[in-house]
Amino acid sequence: MNLIQNQTFGGERPLFALKDTRLEQITITEGESGIKCCNNIEANNCRFIGKYPWWHVDDSLITNCIFEPGSRSAIWYSNRMKMRDTVIDAPKLFREMNDLELTNVQINDADETFWRVNHLRATNLRLHDGTYPFMFCTDVIIDGLESDSKYVFQYVRDAEIHHARITTKDAFWETDNVTIYDSELNGEYLGWHSRNLRLVRCHITGEQPLCYIDGLILEDCTFGSDCDRIFEDSDVQATICGHVTNIKNPRSGCITLDTLGSLTIDENIRQPANCVIKKRTR
């Protein structure tokens, strides 16, 4: 593998079509498309400042790098990428990609990040600010996620999320086949209009969660006191530990819990309107 180190590159496409090269302590300054249409590239201790610095780059490894705010839309159309121990301060990274693996990555402007990524694996991922990360992603496994970005995981398919703390609004809308384990989910309108959403040992806070869902499963979950109008128009199988403030118009299934503050059944309930609610036995 060739080595380029301790250099600065600017302008447009300074490292176009590079192959089989390790970049060590490289700076990509003002300009566009610093590294484009490349293959088998490693970058370590590099700094990215200019726009669109990493497009159409396949089979790459990025370690201990910094993407500054000006490097917006930095990584698109790049397949089989691994990234470790890297800080990203720019929005709109990771678009239209296959086979992305992240470890110990912090994204401080997660606006419109991770769009249409297939086969995403992440460990110890932190997201801050921004809206709509993970739109239209498929085949996702994340273990260790901290996020305060808004509208996370919209239109996601086939995902597993472990050990997450998510503070958001309108999360997990229109998802298919998503399971969340051992996580804290804080926000309004969780999971609306989804299919086959499963929550295991999760704690949920915020208004009106888990409505309009087909195939909703909860296993040993807990709810905050601010959760009301839960399960409206949902097909649900749930085992809940502790108290639930209010349940409204569940469509079908079975809900097992310790105590219930109130149940709302009105003329707007949809058929078959046969959900069973019963006390949990220990």
180-224 pLDDT, tens digit per residue, is 999 999 999 999 999 999 999 999 999 999 999 999 999 999 999
The sign of the dihedral angle between the CA atoms of 171, 107, 73, 24 is negative
Decide if pLDDT at 176 tops 70: yes
Strand ranges (E), 170-201: 176-181, 184-188, 195-200
CA angle, residues 131, 132, 135, in degrees to nearest 5: 165
Give this prediction's pTM: 0.95
For the chain, which residues make up each domain, given as ranges? 1-82, 110-279
Alpha-carbon separation of residue 29 from 15, 37, 47, 227 (angstroms): 12, 18, 8, 48
Decide if pLDDT at 169 tops 90: no
Number of residues assigned to the chain: 282
Split at pLDDT 50, 70, 90, the class of 47 is very high
Rounded average pLDDT over 23-31: 94
Q: Which residues contact 84 (CB under 8 A, 6 or more apart)?
A: 61, 62, 63, 64, 102, 103, 104, 105
In contact, 153 and 175? CB cutoff 8 Å: yes
Count other Cβ atoms within 10 Å, centred on residue 279.
Answer: 9
Residue pLDDT, tens place only, 235-274:
999 999 999 999 999 999 999 999 999 999 999 999 999 9
The sign of the dihedral angle between the CA atoms of 193, 194, 200, 201 is negative
Residue pLDDT, tens place only, 4-23:
999 999 999 999 999 999 99
What CATH code would you report for 1-82?
2.160.20
Split at pLDDT 50, 70, 90, the class of 118 is very high
